[in-house]
Amino acid sequence: MKKSSGKRKSTLIFACSGLSNTGKLTMQAASTLAFRRPNLYRAAAAHKGVDAVEDAVSDGFKIIALDGCTDRCATKKLDEAGMKADVYLMVTELGIEKTRSSDVKPEYVEKIVRAIKEA
C-alpha cells in the first residue's frame, strides 16, 4: 500500500438519489459523510446534473459515482457528459436489496458510508 504524502484529496460523491430505497440510500450516505467530514467529502445529486462534478474535477477532487442499482443513474449522467468517475460503487453490490422506497434503514446508510470511505 502506497502512503500519501500529506493532505488527503477531497472527494465528491455523485449520488444516484433515485426514488427506490437504494436510490434514497445513496444520497443519505453521501450527505452523512459530507456532514461528518465536510473538509473531505461533498455530496451531489445526479438528478441535478454534472455541474458540481465539473467544479470538483477542476478543484482536484476524487469523484465517486454512487449508484443505487443496475440502472446506474449517476454513472449514466457522467457518461452523457463525457465524464468518468475515479471510483464506481453500487449499493445493490453491497448486499442491500432494491425494494420499496420506505426501506431505508440506518444500518444500510452506515454500510454504504463504510464502503465509500474504503473506496
Summarize pLDDT for 41-86 with one digit per residue, the tens.
Answer: 999 999 999 999 999 999 999 999 999 999 999 999 999 999 999 9
Nearest-angstrom CA–CA distance, 83 and 77: 9
Q: Domain segments of the chain: what residues?
A: 11-118
CA-nearest of 115, 66, 119, 69 to 92 is 69
Domain 11-118 -> CATH class? alpha beta
Host H or E run for residue 93: none
pLDDT of residue 15: 97
CA-nearest of 38, 51, 39, 48 to 16 is 48
**C-alpha cell, 71:** 440502472
Beta strands in 69-112 (DSSP E): 87-90
